[in-house]
């Protein structure tokens, strides 16, 4: 994996992490186009650089992360389902990380859902994060588990999950961002442990590539997150739904026509 390839994937991650379009799915497609999707280090990279993007949330919402102990308890409760299913399904998740077809199908299905979600959940009663109770946090955490399927979108699943529990779009999006912090810390640690247990070692250059990718993803995500919140409040999810459907169908057509999505 070269620094140029790392730059491309990190930019994709930074732009898509907070959009309901699946950052992992887009990185799988990106790595497939570059012909590097089967490299164990690339799989590690696509998980670990998500942490860099997620840390932009801590910077942008710094005061919120030191607000109260209840804030952390709710994040822990919401994180528990992903922690359990992540351990149980680790091997299956790794297999799906190589599958552009899985990503494409997930993009289309998720896109169809996003076309209607604003109509389904249009009467929110929760307009502040402090109004979220522990049961609601847990239910949102269950929805996050769907994002273990590449292409589903972690942010999309948790935002829609929040809206289904009467959260406003803004509160659902922000809680989704907050929940990503412990989730991606854990995912990064688990992926690093698995990488070493499988007998792989990280070279000095790979460490540099990981650091570089995280910095790029952090900076891009920092610029993208505020724009997404503003757009979501004004326009809802429909444009993201159509985008997912178009991209997913295009990938399916390429695969069915015999293309391997490897051009480099």
Q: CA 20, 91, 154 angle in degrees (round to 5)?
A: 10
Q: Is the pLDDT of residue 137 over 70?
A: yes
Q: Record the tokens describing residue 10, joined without a space.
A: 């990190």
Above 90 in pLDDT, residue 245? yes
Question: In angstroms, rounded to a whole number, what is the distance separating the alpha carbons of residues 175 and 80?
Answer: 15
Is residue 264 domain-resident? no
Tell me: the pLDDT tens digits for 172-196? 888 888 888 888 888 788 888 888 8
Q: Considering the entire predicted model, what is its pTM?
A: 0.77
Q: State mean pLDDT over 39-57.
A: 85
Q: Is residue 99 part of a domain?
A: yes
The interaxial angle of helices 40-60 and 169-197, nearest 10 deg, is 140
How many structural domains compose the chain?
A: 1
Residue 192: inside a domain = yes
Domain-embedded: residue 263: no
Confidence of residue 264 (pLDDT cuts 50, 70, 90): very low
- Mean pLDDT computed over 200-229: 88
Geometric angle at alpha carbon 182, from 31 and 113, rounded to 5° = 60
CA distance 148 to 12: 18
| Residue 23 within a domain | yes
Domain that holds residue 121: 3-256
111 contact partners, CB below 8 Å, separation of at least 6 = 240, 241, 242, 243, 244, 245, 248
DSSP class of residue 236 equals -
Q: What is the pLDDT of residues 59-68, one digit of tens each?
A: 887 777 777 7
User: pLDDT at position 105, please?
Assistant: 87
**Residue 2 pLDDT class (50, 70, 90 cuts):** confident
> What pLDDT sits at residue 76?
92
Q: Is the pLDDT of residue 24 over 60?
A: yes
Residue 210: pLDDT band (50, 70, 90) is very high
Per-residue pLDDT at 17: 82
């Amino acid at each position: 994996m070269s620094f140029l390839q790392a730059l491309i994937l990190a930019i994709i991650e930074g732009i898509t992490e907070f959009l309901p379009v699946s950052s992992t799915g887009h990185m799988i497609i990106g790595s497939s186009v570059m012909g590097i999707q089967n490299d164990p280090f690339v799989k590690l990279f696509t998980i670990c650089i998500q942490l860099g993007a997620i840390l932009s949330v801590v910077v942008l919402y710094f005061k919120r992360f030191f607000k109260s102990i209840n804030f952390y308890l709710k994040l822990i409760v919401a994180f528990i389902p992903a922690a359990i299913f992540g351990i149980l399904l680790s091997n299956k998740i790794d297999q799906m990380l190589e599958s552009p077809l899985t990503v494409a199908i997930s993009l289309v299905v998720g896109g169809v859902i996003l076309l209607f979600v604003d109509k389904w959940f249009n009467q929110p009663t929760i307009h502040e994060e402090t109004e979220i109770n522990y049961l609601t946090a847990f239910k949102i955490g269950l929805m996050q588990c769907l994002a273990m399927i590449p292409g589903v979108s972690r942010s999309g699943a948790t935002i829609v999950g929040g809206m289904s529990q009467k959260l406003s779009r803004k509160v659902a999006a922000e809680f989704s961002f907050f929940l990503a912090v412990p989730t991606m810390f854990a995912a990064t640690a688990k992926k690093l442990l698995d990488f070493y247990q499988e007998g792989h070692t990280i070279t000095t250059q790979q460490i540099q590539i990981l650091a570089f990718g995280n910095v790029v993803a952090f900076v891009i995500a920092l610029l993208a997150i505020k724009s997404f919140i503003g757009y979501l409040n004004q326009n809802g999810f429909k444009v993201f739904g159509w985008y997912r459907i178009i991209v997913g169908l295009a990938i399916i057509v390429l695969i069915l026509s015999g293309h391997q999505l490897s051009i480099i």
